[in-house]
Amino acid sequence: MALVHNRMKSIHSRRNAEFCALIVSARRKAYLSQEELGRRLHITQSSVSKVERGERRLDVVEYLNWCEAIGVEPEKIIRQIRKG
């Protein structure tokens, strides 16, 4: 159990890196800049950047908002991470 707990705390995990890469890719495929995504989410471009670089995590509700703003199904990204 401790191993799982320690892995979950790390923002530098392989899965988190995959997640970040996938949300960046989804944003770019939607032809959105970080600034435009920030406007849609009512946050700063800097906040978008921190999430994309893995410096800040999203909670579930934030993740759903991001997916809606980008126009991607949340399950698609999750499936890709689980495959990875």
Which CATH number goes with the domain that contains 45? 1.10.260.40
Question: Does 36 fall in a domain?
Answer: yes
What is residue 16's predicted lDDT score, i.e. its pLDDT? 92
Question: Does 72 fall in a domain?
Answer: yes
From first to last of the 84 residues of the chain, give the pLDDT tens digit: 444 555 555 667 889 999 999 999 999 999 999 999 999 999 999 999 999 999 999 999 999 999 999 999 999 999 999 987
Question: Does 57 fall in a domain?
Answer: yes
What is residue 10's predicted lDDT score, i.e. its pLDDT? 64
Residue 65 belongs to what domain range? 15-83
What's the CA gap between 16 and 20, in Å, rounded?
6
Model pTM above 0.75? yes
The number of folded domains in the chain is: 1
Contacts of 48 (CB under 8 A, 6+ apart): 34, 35, 37, 38, 41
Which amino acid is it at 43? I
